[in-house]
Structure formats: structure tokens, C-alpha cells
Amino acid sequence: MALKRVVVTGLGALTPIGNTVQEFHESLFNGVSGAVPITRFDTSLHKTKFACQLINYEASTYFDRKEARKLDPYCQYAMISADEAIRDSGLNLEKVDKDRIGVIMSSGIGGMGTFEDEVSIFAKGDGTPRFSVFFVPKLISDIASGQISIKYGFRGPNYCTVAACASSTVSLISAMDHIRLGRVDVMVAGGSEAPVTQGGLGGFNSLHALSTRNDDYKTASRPFDLGRDGFVMAEGGGALILEEYEHAVNRGARIYCELVGGGLSADAYHLTAPHPEGLGAALVMKNALVDANLPPEAIDYINVHGTSTPLGDVAEPLAVLSVFKEHAYKLSISATKSMHGHLLGAAGAVEAIACIFAITDSKIPPTINHFTDDPQIDNRLDFTFNVAKEREVRYALSNTFGFGGHNATVIFKKMDA
């Protein structure tokens, strides 16, 4: 059986550098940093006092008060980004077959804030377990997919993939495969995360994973820079409408690009550290290329995982060189986490959108905050430091790697005229 083609027909984004796809697009190419001091709780006892938070976000803008109380922020972010993507796709919800539309919205952590709040209330009480009836439905990572399907009546495949920071890339691959195999016509896929909480900040600080550059937070996310000291935690969501090609053409949809392949692998090495030689990272890129039936030389742009951590930013370039050999020096590379921070389970969806912009705009988003080359990194590679640049992008590849050694890669292709 020939596999169906999969195209992207809708985009939605709620990020620290833009509350809509249009705002995200503008900030991305202008090199805007989303890092700000954390104000929603007291950070005086935390090592890190900043994050890439959503700016001017009010749940009441999108939900009535009663509805908002039933939704953890991570679920709100998923629903908002999915709604924008659905509207952007132009799908006529009165005419489509909702039995053949599915949802896979992922989260690496789920309702962390809800868990902290409920347990805190319990701990301060008399020991009687008086938990909110919404505690579990707000907490679990799959509920965002469920809420989206309920809102729109989509009755196709509905679940959540959890693979730490690779979660939403896995959701894209899973959604692509459902369409390829002819099971559905359309999938809403992506991810969301709301980790800027006491527990999120304290937990990642205990792992020495976060930057502590409190006096210069705007430049704290420094992928591939000698002075990098950890990632900047971020919140938000991203969603893509994936659609079977003929279905999209028949309804006259605007098509952004084609999703032509995806790969998965494991480092099988360490809970939080990447394999020092990037073996798992190299394998996942090779697997994606095989799935897309492409030679390495076809790729023009890579949105790397590039978190600004001391170990990860050494291992990933080694993996790129291992896979692409001499062609690696012809690639354009960027780490957009330098701007929007690390959205954990939502990173893959948001960075996939950045890849799509590179294709549609023939422009490479920058890796900002680069000051000093690291001698451990081959700086003959073009990391697009500090300033965006014009370049035609026919094929773009996006990497996401998660704690536990979970690796996922997707490849997008420019549509032929």
C-alpha cells in the first residue's frame, strides 16, 4: 500500500515571544529574547529567578471564569494554540467528517501547577483528603487532547505522547503515521507546557540544568557559546494541522509545506546527560532521513535541540558532523531556544513552526546571545549567530532530545510549485 502524503495546513503558537503565530514569526526573525524575571511567585530562595514566561497572558481573554478553573495552564495553552491552528487551516467544521479528525497534544509534565496547589492545600489542612473534583482531570497529560476533541467534536485517534522534551515531536510523527496509513484525513498535533512553578524551578535547579545568570537574564540562553551555563525554562504551546494531501487540495486549503519524514531513537546512556559522542542524536537524524527517503545532502537547515547546556551543545554538533560529513559545513543551523527558551514538551511543536517559517520565508532564524566561541565546538559550522539571514530552504530538519535519552526528529519539505 502506498503511503499517503502529509501536509501542514494550519499553525498555532502561544509563546514567550509572541501570543500568536504572527507575533512569534516577527520576534523569531528579529532576535527577540523572551526571558523575564519571574513574578508569579517568590523566587528569593531559588538559584534561578527568571524564565521565558508568557507576556500579557490572561486566561480570561480566552476562557470564562468557570471554564478556566477547570483547566490547568498547560491545558489552556494547548487549547489556545490548537484553536488558532484550526482557524488558520480554514477547515469547515460543519462539513468535515469528524470521525476522521484526531488529536495528539502532548506534554512532558502536564499539570504541575495543579499538583503543587492541591497538595499544598492538603498539607495545610487537618489531614482530611479534601481534593478538588477537578484535581485529576486538570493534572493528567492527556487531558488537553481530550478537551480539544470535546470542544470540536473530533472523534478520531485521541491521546498524548510523553517523551520529555521530545514529546511534541513524537506527537507530530505519530499523527503523520495515522494520516500516511489512511486512518484519518486530519490530525491536530503539537504540545504544551506550564513548568514555571515553584516545583519546576526548584527541580530543574537541583539538576543544575538551568542558567543562573540572574543579572543578565536576557542573554542567559546562549547555545554553543563558551559562557553558557544551562537552559532557560519556558512555557506555552504550539499546534500544527496535519492533513492528507489530496484532502487538503480538494478543499482548496493553503498548504505551508509537506511533512516528509520522522525518526526516533534512544541514547540508552544516562537519565539526563546526552551521549558524549551524540550517538543517539546521530541515529535519530539518520532514521528520519531514511523515513523521508532523502540523502543527507538534501537538507538545507537544521533547527537543533541547542539548549545552552554545557554537555548537550557539544554532543549535538558532533552528531551533525557524523551524519552530514562535509555537507555539514553547507547547512544553516540555528537554536531558536536562545529566544523563546526551552518549552520542554512543547519545544518540538514550536520549533517545527520555526522550521516552517524558514521554508516559507526563505530565511534562517538566528541563534542569539553568542559572544565567545567554544573551542570544543567546530565553529566552521554555520550556527547563524545573532542575525537572521536569507537562504532558500527546500528541506528543514528539527531535532528534539529528552531526559531519559528520548530522541525525535522531523523533516519538512517546501511544496513544489
- Coil vs helix vs strand at 374: coil
- Coil vs helix vs strand at 106: strand
DSSP state string for 62-94: TS-HHHHHTS-HHHHHHHHHHHHHHHHHT--TT
Whether the predicted model's global pTM rises above the 0.95 cut: yes
Per-residue pLDDT, 417: 73
Whether residue 256 is contained in a domain is answered as no
Whether residue 242 is contained in a domain is answered as yes
Please name the residues in contact with 334: beta carbons below 8 A apart, sequence gap of 6 or more: 301, 302, 303, 304, 306, 364, 365, 366, 367, 383, 384
Per-residue pLDDT, 416: 87
Per annotation, catalytic residue among 178, 305, 340, 406: 305
Per-residue pLDDT, 128: 87
At 301, which CATH number?
Answer: 3.40.47.10
- Reading the block at residue 277, the C-alpha cell is 559522542
Same structural domain, 222 and 168: yes
Task: Look at the chain and report how many structural domains it folds into.
Answer: 2
Per-residue pLDDT, 389: 98
Nearest residue to 38 via CA among 169, 157, 212: 212
- With contact defined as beta carbons under 8 Å apart, do 297 and 258 qualify? no
Same structural domain, 265 and 246: no
Whether residue 1 is contained in a domain is answered as no
Per-residue pLDDT of the chain (417 residues; tens, 9 = 90+): 799 999 999 999 999 999 999 999 999 999 999 999 999 999 999 999 999 999 999 999 999 999 999 999 999 999 999 999 999 999 999 999 999 999 999 999 999 999 999 999 988 988 888 899 999 999 999 999 999 999 999 999 999 999 999 999 999 999 999 999 999 999 999 999 999 999 999 999 999 999 999 999 999 999 999 999 999 999 999 999 999 999 999 999 999 999 999 999 999 999 999 999 999 999 999 999 999 999 999 999 999 999 999 999 999 999 999 999 999 999 999 999 999 999 999 999 999 999 999 999 999 999 999 999 999 999 999 999 999 999 999 999 999 999 999 999 999 999 987
- Give whole-number Cα distances, 341 to 168, 307, 351, 381, in Å: 16, 8, 11, 22
Please name the residues in contact with 397: beta carbons below 8 A apart, sequence gap of 6 or more: 285, 288, 299, 301, 302, 303, 355, 409, 410, 411, 412
Whether residue 302 is contained in a domain is answered as yes
Per annotation, catalytic residue among 52, 165, 257, 355: 165
Same structural domain, 207 and 279: no
Please report, to the nearest 10 degrees, the dihedral formed by the alpha carbons of residues 362, 188, 303, 167 taken in order.
Answer: 180
Per-residue pLDDT, 1: 75
- Sign for the CA dihedral angle at 55, 166, 258, 101 comes to negative
Same structural domain, 130 and 101: yes
Same structural domain, 364 and 389: yes
Per annotation, catalytic residue among 178, 247, 275, 342: 342
Nearest residue to 201 via CA among 39, 404, 82: 39
Per-residue pLDDT, 127: 85
Domain housing 204: 6-250
- Phi and psi at residue 282, to the nearest 5°: -65, -45
Whether residue 171 is contained in a domain is answered as yes
Same structural domain, 290 and 234: no
- Our answer to whether residue 342 is catalytic in this structure is yes
Same structural domain, 222 and 332: no
Same structural domain, 288 and 385: yes
Instruction: Detail the DSSP E strand segments found in 291-343.
Output: 301-303, 332-334
Among 192, 220, 250, give the residue marking a domain's end. 250
Same structural domain, 116 and 224: yes
- Reading the block at residue 282, the C-alpha cell is 546521530
Same structural domain, 167 and 314: no
Among 199, 227, 250, give the residue marking a domain's end. 250
Please name the residues in contact with 65: beta carbons below 8 A apart, sequence gap of 6 or more: none
Same structural domain, 35 and 123: yes
Whether residue 300 is contained in a domain is answered as yes
Whether residue 255 is contained in a domain is answered as no
Among 250, 279, 299, give the residue marking a domain's end. 250
Same structural domain, 215 and 188: yes
